[in-house]
Structure 1
Amino acid sequence: AQRLFCVLRKLTQCVPAMGGWGAQWDFTSDSTFLDIGSGYGKVVLHAKLAVGCRSSHGIECVAKRVEISTLALQGCFGELDRTALEDDILKGVTFCCADATEAAEFRQTHVYAFDRVFSSYTLDALAKVLQRSPFFVFISSKGPRIWWKHGLTKVQPVSKMRFVTTGRERCTVFIYVNTHFIPGIF
């Protein structure tokens, strides 16, 4: 995940076509992050600690995983030094047990979906929520044709990369932009 966040921090520099688009596309301290299928919360915590984004939220449908995520967050408070705690470095980190497909929309600037095992039914339902959502960047292991087929038509891939998940699985992710916000398009 560290490599992914390095790319996201400088996305407009890494993708030449995005030059001059503005800082909202890069993952910065002004960004908000959502992890759909957040599991044990490692990516959510990494996003907050690596970049210091405004907020980092995880949605997970398995209650036990959310419980473990919350315990991990509490454990971080015991591991951080006094300066980091005084800086509220973990402020804005949250987890919830919910079905992401039932959300009205997602308001975060950067959305990551750990969607390797999502069924076609789940992809259909999630695509509808994402299509209504005002994100800038979406990260997924699913290719563009899959998302377009399921109804998420406002995304365009700008990059893809291989990385190793926190569970030590190798995977390729696609980095998409929301075409509704591309300068000069709409």
Structure 2
Amino acid sequence: MNEKQKMLSGELYYPSDRELTGLRKACRIKLDELNATCQTEHKARTRQIKALFGTTGKRLYIESSFKCDYGENIHVGENFYANFNCVILDAAKVTIGDNCMIAPQVGIYTATHPIDPTSRQTGIEFAKPITLGHNCWIGGMAVINPGVTLGNNVVVASGAVVTKSFGDNVVIGGNPAKIIKHIMVTNDDGLC
């Protein structure tokens, strides 16, 4: 396996690999263009995001400034919105369902490093995928850590640090995040 294949399969890999470095550089160029495009130019920004991400729904919008590692490993559903200063480190696949909203300064991080300092000093790292279900709302300055899966209709409180997965229909918050309350869903489209 090459380093990109290792990265995407969750194995230890070297991010300094020539191919991965080139992909990150190409992503930075696309991000510079996106972040420099006037926020009133919705159609141009949508085209840029669709060219950056692996897959998207028809309707989406991201406020500047937005940052990611590769872009191609991010897959968002219909009606996606991310507010100012969102960071998605997509060394592994990031899947976000339909009707999801991300508040300002949210971090979604698939990349992680060995705990052992000797291994970490070599520059090796690994990544774990993140999945957000449909109708999720991630509050401002929340952090979603590697390997987390959130079910449908999950609300993440502002400032939460999500270190483990949660099922459908819950509000979570704190550090580390825990269930604050359960959500009563009253109809098929996920509205309460």
TM range, smaller chain: under 0.3
Using structure 2 for the length normalisation, give the TM-score: 0.23
Larger radius of gyration: 2
Using structure 1 for the length normalisation, give the TM-score: 0.24
